Structure 1
Amino acid sequence: MKTQGKYGVTATAAAQVLCEDVRNFSTRRRNILYLMHRYLVENGYYTSAESLKTEGRLSNEYELCDNIDLDGMYLEYASFFNMKFGKYPKILKKVGPKVKVEMVGKVQEKKETKETKETKEPPKRPPVSEASLANWHLGVGAATAALSNEPLQIVKMETSAEVSGQENACEIEHGHLGSDDGLFSSLDWQSLAQLVKSSILQENIKIRWSDVCGNQRAIELIKEAVLTPIEFPQLFVHGLKPWRSLLLHGPPGSGKTFLAKALYSETQGRVTFFNITASIMVSKWRGESEKILRVLFHMAAKRAPSVIFLDEIESLTSKRDRATDHESSKRFKNELLQLLDGMEHTLNGVFVLASTNLPWDIDEAFLRRFEKKLLVQLPNPAERSCLISRLLGSSVSLNPRLLDKLVEISDQFTGDEIRLACKEISMHRVRCATKVDRSMASPKESQASIEANVEEAFRQVRPLGQKLLAKHEQWQHENGS
């Protein structure tokens, strides 16, 4: 079948050339040497890489393509082998015990006599592996014994592992040395660990606790759970442990995620912050979601102190008695319940922070796992005044009368809705500055016109918080802590 490409015959010819390169032995040898050279350089073996370049006669005429990597080819081969044979390839194996061949009789005596007469040291040979040397001695000894009719004595010698008392040393498989951490010994678990590692925040966010208007109770609880154990570890002795989990609930836009951002910014460099979403946790493969959960909590414990932030947690922890729940969803929830508060009490230094807009949709078993459940309140008049002054102080001159009017209009507004109203005012000034007829200078707005536009921008916002606030307050009264 001819290769179908954009350039017709050219694509067919290129495919034939590539096929010949793959089948050609000298080309394969050259490519392998370049792969080895790149691998040595990337891992810091510069002397070995220079020696390989000299002995292999590698020139600067060629270089590896961007999408070619020896480690990637290794992993692809292991995956192909597993898909074809149902198991991963075993690359290395333990070296067998040394075999020492001793000749009993005249041949050995003649050899000893000859060695005592020799005063000149034999020339040094290049190093040979122990297994190859043992096989060579065995073959030569057997041939000599057959010629001389002398008995052949084979003595088993101790290996280096037996001498050091490490007879049950872990095998090196797939390039990873065995250790006491057996969770990541499999290639599948390592790929899941890379997926979870991608959820660790590395962004440079500049938010301080002073930027949060209100919600002082939530800030105090978060500091008690994360910062206090770091700054005063001597206080948590004799069984006393900091808060392990906190559930923040409230109307949309009340500042739950903003609190998590402030926590990340204040603890950046001291705490590992995992930002977990449903796209990371849910997998289409059977049983993989539960494995991702276990890898997440295992990595969080290894990198403690750490924070696991679960935004919109109701999507992962809905009630389990629903008829529409799938079996995989139930397994995932059971695994999460077991990790949050099960037999494995190894989550020292791990703080679980979750947020939700619908706490009444969360299963009761998950609610019990959260030690603190707190309502993120809407800003009061003093907090709204501070927030409006901070957002509009640089663009609009706010007199006390206008500020009091805006505070009155923004009653039952969330913090995000106040931000949107202030953004509308700023965008109105942008519209005035970017009129179509720029040749004519725009007339300067009067103070009365500015105040009217500011009030109109605030009146355009339809607050959603007041619809859900009463329901959140009732739920906090019944289930909060």
Structure 2
Amino acid sequence: MKTQGKYGVTAKATAQVLCEDVRNFSTRRRNILYLMHRYLVENGYYSSAESLKTEGHLSEEYELCDNIDLDAMYLEYASFFNLKFGKYPKILKKVGAKIKVEMSGKGQEKPVVKDITKNAKTTPTTEASLANWHISMGAATAALNNEQPLQIKKMETAVDANGQETSNGYEIEHGHLGADDALFSSMDWQSLAELVKTSILQENIKLKWSDVCGNQRAIELIKEAVLTPIEYPQLFAHGLKPWRSLLLHGPPGSGKTFLAKALYSETQGLVTFFNITASIMVSKWRGESEKILRVLFHMAAKRAPSVIFLDEIESLTSKRDRSTDHESSKRFKNELLQLLDGMEHTLNGVFVLASTNLPWDIDEAFLRRFEKKLLVQLPNAAERSCLISRLLGSSISLNARLLEQLVEISDQFTGDEIRLACKEISMHRVRCATKLADRSTGLPKESQAAIEANVEKAFRQVRPLGQKLLAKHEQWQQENGS
């Protein structure tokens, strides 16, 4: 075999050298010692690292690469183990076995029984094992000296009140203990449950339904689905089910997410609110995204009443007949379809609230799962007047003529675009304050005409985007809405 080429050792020869290097026991042992030394140093065990360096005869000749560490190797091994066997490796705490020593003699009416595990409960594992060995050996010696028969039996497994056998060893799980039921008995499911728990909102948001300008139809539907079953459970005691899913669509900035925030604020302490994004749902590991979905709906059912809010849902529920779809994406969508379809029977008390700017990109099967599909309308003249007065009333004085003019300019504006225009007016006053050279003279007082001109200019700078999509949303609502 040719090992030398024009540019030195060939790739094949290099691979063989590396393979032999890995298979060599002494080289492998040396590499492990260096990995352990690095791990101890990085975690602050300097005395242990120095002892390992001395006893292992480690020198400064070798240095580990930055991309090699024990954590990465353990995670890689755990992932391989899970892929091969369907579960992650676990570490068990060692507990001494229960042994019963019975010594019986001719002069004794009853056998003397010694339970040697009593001391093991209050001593460390290694010390308990040594104590067990010494006690058993001492008992055996005494039995031989007295010529008494020695019987060593393994203690029976404890049985709990339900008749189930229990073990003395307990598992040290890498995830969260105390899960809801058997679904979270493995470390794999527990780690996914911890990930889903991060989506539960616990922020202190102070909003009221009165802070929402317009969209009374959407507010009524949300109240019917979430608040009415809590306040009047007797109305749903005879087979009637509340709304279980609602899809909000409309131009960007029309207030879909704001409605979800108001719902969370009004139901704090009463409802568990899951704020789901694509970063939580999508995983690079095969089959893990479907598991996250199942854990999400399972936890929502266990913590009912609960709300699952899926913002920008078109990124997760696009049409399934596209040639660009990956196999993992198809499996994820099929799992979500099954969970949404089975909610009425198994997931009582769970309400799915979704929002989208592109409802026509959602697959028809998902649209069927949503019981209500509602267009979030742009604010009308009265709602725009109320919103402008609320945002500008504390900063400038608005007369009736100026307010009417701003309402006319902001026609086809979304609520967020009106907010941006009002923010531009406030920032203009900040610019005037920062440009003032002599602060001792105070702020120059602007005339009412100048104020009105600046306000009108700020509103005219906004280019409304909602009017471009509003007609398409209205047509879609007529064809598919409910």
- The answer to whether 1:128 aligns with 2:126 is no
Change (3 A) 1:21 1:145: closer
Offset at residue 444 of structure 1 (A): 2.6
Provide, for residues 292-329 of structure 1, a one-character-per-residue CA deviation record: whole Å limited to 9, x for no partner.
Answer: 11111111112111111111000011001000001111
Distance 1:421 1:248 in 2: 25
Distance 2:475 2:75 in 1: 54
- The answer to whether 1:295 aligns with 2:295 is yes
Contact 1:99–1:134 (CA under 8 A) maintained in structure 2? no
Q: Match of 1:413, as an amino acid?
A: F
Contact 1:337–1:365 (CA under 8 A) maintained in structure 2? yes
Offset at residue 20 of structure 1 (A): 2.0
TM-score (norm 2): 0.75
Larger mean CA deviation between 170-179 and 349-358 belongs to 170-179
Q: 1:48 corresponds to which residue? A: none
Provide, for residues 180-204 of structure 1, a one-character-per-residue CA deviation record: whole Å limited to 9, x for no partner.
Answer: 7112222222222111111111111
Q: 2:171 corresponds to which residue? A: 173
Which structure 1 residue ranges, 4+ long, deviate > 6 Å from structure 2? 75-78, 83-86, 130-137, 176-180
Change (3 A) 1:434 1:164: closer
Contact 1:276–1:310 (CA under 8 A) maintained in structure 2? yes
Provide, for residues 185-228 of structure 1, a one-character-per-residue CA deviation record: whole Å limited to 9, x for no partner.
Answer: 22222222111111111111111100000000000011111111
Provide, for residues 230-276 of structure 1, a one-character-per-residue CA deviation record: whole Å limited to 9, x for no partner.
Answer: 11111111111111111000000100000001011111122111111
Q: Match of 1:380, as an amino acid?
A: N
Offset at residue 345 of structure 1 (A): 3.2
Change (3 A) 1:179 1:316: closer
Contact 1:282–1:289 (CA under 8 A) maintained in structure 2? yes
Distance 2:222 2:309 in 1: 12
Q: 2:64 corresponds to which residue? A: none
Provide, for residues 426-465 of structure 1, a one-character-per-residue CA deviation record: whole Å limited to 9, x for no partner.
Answer: 1122222222533565543222222222122111111111
Distance 1:15 1:148 in 2: 52
Offset at residue 382 of structure 1 (A): 0.8
Distance 1:343 1:249 in 2: 22
Distance 1:343 1:177 in 2: 27
Question: In the TM superposition, what are the counterparts of 1:2-13 in structure 2 within 5 Å?
Answer: none
Q: Match of 1:20, as an amino acid?
A: E
Distance 1:258 1:177 in 2: 35
Unaligned residue ranges in structure 1 (runs of 5+): 2-10, 26-74, 116-124
Distance 1:441 1:179 in 2: 63
Q: Match of 1:480, as an amino acid?
A: G
Larger mean CA deviation between 423-432 and 303-312 belongs to 423-432
Distance 1:329 1:355 in 2: 20
Contact 1:79–1:88 (CA under 8 A) maintained in structure 2? no
Q: 1:374 corresponds to which residue? A: 374
Q: Match of 2:50, as an amino acid?
A: E
- The answer to whether 1:433 aligns with 2:433 is yes
Offset at residue 395 of structure 1 (A): 1.6
Change (3 A) 1:327 1:85: closer
Q: 1:109 corresponds to which residue? A: 106
Question: In the TM superposition, what are the counterparts of 1:324-335 in structure 2 within 5 Å?
Answer: 324-335=324-335
Q: 1:314 corresponds to which residue? A: 314
Aligned length: 413
Q: 1:341 corresponds to which residue? A: 341
Offset at residue 96 of structure 1 (A): 5.7
Offset at residue 398 of structure 1 (A): 1.4
- The answer to whether 1:19 aligns with 2:16 is no
Distance 2:160 2:186 in 1: 29
Q: 1:469 corresponds to which residue? A: 470
Offset at residue 169 of structure 1 (A): 3.5
Question: In the TM superposition, what are the counterparts of 1:192-341 in structure 2 within 5 Å?
Answer: 192-341=192-341
Secondary structure of the residue that 2:435 maps to in structure 1? coil
Change (3 A) 1:266 1:465: same
Q: Match of 1:19, as an amino acid?
A: A
Provide, for residues 156-181 of structure 1, a one-character-per-residue CA deviation record: whole Å limited to 9, x for no partner.
Answer: 7655x237563434773225878871
Identity %: 73
Q: 1:66 corresponds to which residue? A: none
Distance 1:445 1:453 in 2: 10
Change (3 A) 1:265 1:141: same
Secondary structure of the residue that 2:275 maps to in structure 1? strand
Larger mean CA deviation between 343-352 and 301-310 belongs to 343-352
Q: 1:121 corresponds to which residue? A: none
Q: Match of 1:466, as an amino acid?
A: Q
Question: In the TM superposition, what are the counterparts of 1:123-162 in structure 2 within 5 Å?
Answer: 127-129=118-120, 139=137, 142-144=140-142, 146-147=144-145, 150-152=148-150, 158=156, 161-162=158-159
Secondary structure of the residue that 1:355 maps to in structure 2? strand
Change (3 A) 1:446 1:152: closer
Change (3 A) 1:23 1:149: farther
Provide, for residues 54-98 of structure 1, a one-character-per-residue CA deviation record: whole Å limited to 9, x for no partner.
Answer: xxxxxxxxxxxxxxxxxxxxx999868746976523414787665
Distance 1:218 1:111 in 2: 86
Provide, for residues 33-58 of structure 1, a one-character-per-residue CA deviation record: whole Å limited to 9, x for no partner.
Answer: xxxxxxxxxxxxxxxxxxxxxxxxxx
Secondary structure of the residue that 2:106 maps to in structure 1? helix
Distance 2:81 2:383 in 1: 65
Larger mean CA deviation between 146-155 and 250-259 belongs to 146-155
Offset at residue 417 of structure 1 (A): 0.8
Q: 1:411 corresponds to which residue? A: 411
Secondary structure of the residue that 1:109 maps to in structure 2? coil
Distance 1:224 1:457 in 2: 39
Provide, for residues 403-435 of structure 1, a one-character-per-residue CA deviation record: whole Å limited to 9, x for no partner.
Answer: 111111111111111111111111122222222
Change (3 A) 1:83 1:369: closer
Contact 2:205–2:261 (CA under 8 A) maintained in structure 1? yes
Distance 2:325 2:473 in 1: 26
- The answer to whether 1:354 aligns with 2:354 is yes
Change (3 A) 1:114 1:389: closer
TM-score (norm 1): 0.75
Distance 2:272 2:46 in 1: 51
Distance 1:352 1:343 in 2: 10
Q: 2:461 corresponds to which residue? A: 460
